[in-house]
Amino acid sequence: MRGIASNSASQIDYVTFAGDGEPTLSLDLGWLIRRSKEAMRCPVAVITNGSLLWQKEVRKELIEADVVLPSLDAGNESLFRTINRPYGALKFNEIIKGMVDFRHEYKGQIWLEVMLLQDINDNTSALDNFDWFISQINPDRIYITTPIRPPAEPWVKVPTPEAIIRAQEVIGNSTAIREIENGEFGLGASDNAEEAILEICSRHPLRIEQAIDIEKGFPESGILDKMMLDGRLLEVTYNSSVYLLPAKFVRGK
Q: Where are the domains of the chain?
A: 15-177, 193-249
Torsion of CA 200, 205, 206, 207, to 10 degrees: -170
pTM for the model: 0.75
On whether the CB atoms of residues 144 and 116 are closer than 8 A, the answer is yes
What pLDDT digit, counting tens, does each position of 123-158 carry?
A: 988 998 888 899 999 999 999 998 888 887 888 888
Q: CA geometry: angle at 80 spanning 176 and 169, to 5°?
A: 30
Class for domain 15-177, per CATH? alpha beta
Q: 80 pLDDT exceeds 50? A: yes
Nearest to 173 by CA among 243, 86, 112: 112
Closest CA to 70 of 28, 117, 112, 37: 112
CATH number of 193-249: 1.10.10
Q: What is the pLDDT of residue 119?
A: 93
Query: Residue 12: pLDDT band by 50, 70, 90 thresholds?
Result: very low
pLDDT class for 15, splitting at 50, 70, 90? very low
